Amino acid sequence: MNSQKPLFWGAIIAQVVGAQVFFWDALPDYRELTAGGEMAGTPQHFAIAVVGLVLMQSAYWYARRLQPHVRFRHRVVLGHLLLCLSEVSFFFVSALATVAAFDHWKRGQFVLWKAMLVISAVFAFFCYKRQLASVGDALVETHSDHA
């Protein structure tokens, strides 16, 4: 049932947009933390990060439901690009979570809502990575007679 293909790819694009919103919002905090400073994000920055994560998660669960009904053509290069992107996408959020955890541990601070945001980000990016990898695998493994 390929009538759902545009909806599926729209959900993939929404995940990419959500990831970019989170990346560009969290990048200044990451730079500050890696330079030895303190994470000083404003409530507005955290709200923007949450919007990005909610967009990612909403689109992920929607696309996950649609994916079994979508047929993929054999596209080896695109499949490998998505597999590479899936691996690379998890690096930044993992580094951010690690630096934030060590920073909070070093300072003896624990703020529940910040910890929940970091855990939510790691989970959202895990789902994003998994989605991209599954689509990449489907594009690489699908044979042209199934298209």
For residues 21-40, give the mean pLDDT: 69
For residues 101-128, give the mean pLDDT: 78
Helices 76-107 and 5-34 meet at what angle, rounded to 10? 40
The yes-or-no verdict on residue 91 having pLDDT over 50 is yes
For residues 3-17, give the mean pLDDT: 93
16 vs 37 pLDDT, higher one? 16
pTM of the model: 0.81
Res 96: pLDDT: 78
- In whole numbers, what is the pLDDT of the chain averaged over residues? 83
Q: Which residue type is seen at 107?
A: R
**Domain extent at residue 6:** 2-146
HSE (CB half, 13 Å, CA atoms) of 17? 11
Number of residues that make up the chain: 147
Instruction: Tell me how many domains the chain contains.
Output: 1
**DSSP code for 58:** H
Res 111: pLDDT: 66
135 vs 102 pLDDT, higher one? 135
Instruction: Give the whole-number percent of the chain exceeding pLDDT 90.
Output: 41
**DSSP code for 108:** T
Confidence of residue 147 (pLDDT cuts 50, 70, 90): very low
